[in-house]
Amino acid sequence: MLQTIIDPQSVSQFAAWVEQYQKFVILGHTSPDGDAVGSTLALYHYLQSKGKQAQVVMPNVFPDFLKWLPGSDSVIFYRNASRSRKNVERVEQVIREAEVICCLDFNELSRIDEVGALVEQADAKILLLDHHLNPGDFADLTISFPTQSSTCELLFRFLYDLGHYEEMTVTEAACIYTGMMTDTGGFTFNSTRGEIFYIVGLLLDKGINKDVIYRKVNNSYTAARLHLQGEVLSRMTYLPKYHTAILELSKEQQERQDYHRGDSEGFVNLPLGIKDVIFTCFLREDTERDQVKLSFRSIGDFPSQEVAKRFGGGGHLNASGAERPQTTIAQVKKEFIKVLADFKEQLDEACKAEQRVSFKLSKR
């Protein structure tokens, strides 16, 4: 049996909304990842199966390797490559007309950029279902569990509690599995609770093909992406003293190499393949805004989000990020190396812990 973690009152509250209302908008965060796209689409399919009008809205486009997900054709992007006014107007309209707005995989309206203001003005019931720390106080119904591997895991529990498991389709199961897989790096971090694998078992029983999903997500790169990866790796800054590596991607590189949004997804993890590297930072000049985007990943107990906070960002223990407006990669890199000095002891400690194999094998 799956343990109940969500308050039954929250579940019946949402069930009552599904009973009462017709028009649902489902929102994921800016630069949607597998968890954001998987969870929003799974909820979309669920609501459609209940005969509801459901519309997924994203602040901007998601990477090509998620486009195979069933239903992704129906998503409206507030900002798309051509910055069409038509999309903006459609998003304004569906949010204005929504009776229920479901916010998935983000904790604050600031994580959905301009769409946040539309939600604030909307005359709709708001659901927040998320696994990030510190949920904002903007929803009528908040279901927040930072202990969850992914929003998709939490959404699975929610649908299960709604009594939907029997009727869950393989399509919904595939969307949920995708988010669980991507947010845990293929179940290599943030996934020590046995129940995660119990849920995976329940999804497999629905008929999903986990190997195909893995390949769709991980083996669908363009040659341009691999060239870019080679270039970025060849310019890596390795700081053995801090068990840290830094990767950089300039605007110029992105333009020259025919960069598509999402082409650098996952780069941040690559230096973790170096023995004794436990912390990585990926600096990317944004092509859409005048800012540098910072991504952090860590191994073990090293709190990457504490470093992210020093740059005005946040996130989880092992994955976090920040944005720095009106600056350069070189400047941010300099600041980052300075900040690392403050974390030297923690970095050493986390590296040592990683080297203690017996500890590593037993620890949750």
Instruction: Tell me if 315 sits within 8 A of 105, measured CB to CB.
Output: no
Dist. CA 38–CA 172, nearest whole Å: 9
Closest distance between Mn ion and the C-beta of residue 29, in Å? Answer: 8
Closest distance between ligand 5GP and the C-beta of residue 316, in Å? Answer: 6
What does 191 interact with, of Mn ion, ligand 5GP, none (CB < 5 to 8 A by kind)? none
Q: How far apart are the first and last CA of the chain?
A: 21
Residue number with CB closer to ligand 5GP (70 or 185): 185
What does 314 interact with, of Mn ion, ligand 5GP, none (CB < 5 to 8 A by kind)? ligand 5GP
Residue number with CB closer to Mn ion (173 or 340): 173
Longest dimension (CA), the chain: 59
Residue number with CB closer to ligand 5GP (11 or 283): 283
Dist. CA 176–CA 149, nearest whole Å: 12
Tokens representing residue 292 in the block: 């540098």
Residues that bind ligand 5GP (CB under 6 A): 33, 132, 268, 295, 313-316, 319-323
What are the phi and psi torsion angles at 145 (to 5°)? -135, 90
Closest distance between ligand 5GP and the C-beta of residue 35, in Å? Answer: 8
Closest distance between ligand 5GP and the C-beta of residue 52, in Å? Answer: 28
Bridge-partner residues for 323, per DSSP? Answer: 293
Our finding on whether 35 is near Mn ion (CB under 5 A) is: yes
Dist. CA 131–CA 94, nearest whole Å: 26
Residue number with CB closer to ligand 5GP (63 or 71): 63
Residue number with CB closer to Mn ion (116 or 343): 116
Q: Minimal CB distance to ligand 5GP: which residue? A: 321
Give every CB contact of residue 294 below 8 A, 6+ residues apart in sequence.
Answer: 281, 282, 283, 308, 311, 313, 321, 322, 323, 324, 332, 336
Residue number with CB closer to Mn ion (105 or 108): 105
Our finding on whether 105 is near Mn ion (CB under 5 A) is: yes
Pattern 54-73, Mn ion, x by CB under 5 A? --------------------
Helices (H), the chain: 8-20, 34-49, 85-97, 114-121, 151-161, 170-183, 194-205, 210-218, 223-234, 251-256, 304-309, 329-342, 344-355, 357-362
- Where on the chain is the footprint of Mn ion (CB under 5 A)? 35, 105, 151, 183
